A = this chain, B = another copy of it.
Amino acid sequence: MEIFYANQISGNEVFLDTEESSHCVRVLRHRTGDEITVVDGQGTMMRCVLTDDSPKGAAAQILERFPDWGGHPYSLTMAVCPTKNNDRFEWFVEKATEVGVDRIVPVIGERSERRVFKPERSRKIALSAMKQSLKAALPLIDEPCPVKDFILASGDDVPLPLPAASQPYPGKWSRAGAVITGAENKTDRGIKIICYCFEGETERRSIEDVLREVPEGADITIMIGPEGDFSPEEARLAVENGFIPVHLGPSRLRTETAAVTAATAVYLHFIK
């Protein structure tokens, strides 16, 4: 099953960008009249018929809409420190997208060795992983922001940095995770978790133990530190702002493995 992505939709018409058009018309040789499957990156899959097979800008007519297609019953924001080796972070982006994630925030910690991160490549990877895993919602990938800014933004009413313009408007799940406010955190739908390795002042529970209390539809935010872990100050600030300190069990996991393990724990928690 081949899926195309269109972020430009007006009424019942969808427009594919150059890359998608070329793939649809040049590579897969679709012609006007062919039925194709298009997703809007916001959670809706659309059965369409191709009305313009131009390889630079194809267009299609929507026949049927399937909202929340390939979605999941929670909203997950993963705030993860980019790894020294970019491939490892991009691998996390691919795997988290396959399993189910709504928003990825590259956060820069005091001990991060990589302090610069360009989201473009990761966004491409998320897009192809979304299509490959038959999902209709494209995870948002933010511009990088400092760990402490992310913690503070998640703890009060200041919205997190807005997604870059190149991103489609956040869909149902993404929107749920996009702006975390103090108010939301006071409801039982929002839960914030920070994973770190050292024994801080606050005792850490296991992620399994914490997830047991998380209901369907919850907005879950999970922070994962850099190779050198969070600093004690970052951990303290997070706990002061309502993050629950957790561990991921006895194994010592790399940053990207910890991030995928945490996202997988959330995914598995909601499987009956």
Establish whether residues B98 and A253, one from each chain, have CB atoms under 8 Å apart when the complex forms. Answer: yes
Query: Does A117 lie at the interface of the complex (its beta carbon under 8 Å from any beta carbon of B)?
Result: no
User: What's the least CB distance linking A195 to chain B, in Å?
Assistant: 13
Interface size class of A (residues with CB under 8 A): 20 to 34
- Near B by CB (< 8 A), chain A positions 76-107 give 91, 95, 98-100
Q: Kindly identify which residue among B99, B209, B264, B272 contacts A272, using a CB–CB cutoff of 8 Å.
A: B209
Are B208 and A251 in contact (CB-based, < 8 A)?
Answer: no
A241 within 8 A of B: no
Does residue A11 face the partner (Cβ distance < 8 Å to B)?
A: no
User: What residues on B are CB-neighbors of A95 within 8 Å?
Assistant: 257, 260
Which residues A39-77 have CB closer than 8 A to chain B?
70, 72
Does A132 touch B at the CB level, under 8 Å? yes
Q: Is A158 an interface position by the 8 A CB rule? A: no
Report whether B98 and A254 are in contact in the complex, using a CB–CB cutoff of 8 Å.
Answer: yes
Please, which residues of chain B bring their CB within 8 A of the CB of A268?
207-208, 249, 261, 264-265, 268
Do residues A249 and B265 form an inter-chain contact, with CB atoms below 8 A? no
**Considering the chains assembled together, what is the distance between the CA atoms of A249 and B248 in angstroms?**
21
Given A206-B272, A260-B260: A98 and B251 interface contact (C-beta under 8 Å): yes
Q: Kindly state the separation between the CA atoms of A250 and B73 in the bound complex, as whole angstroms.
A: 11
Contacts of A91 in B (CB 8 A): 91
Could you tell me which A residues sit within 8 Å of B by CB distance? 70, 72, 91, 95, 98-100, 132-135, 206-209, 248-254, 257, 260-261, 264-265, 267-268, 270-272
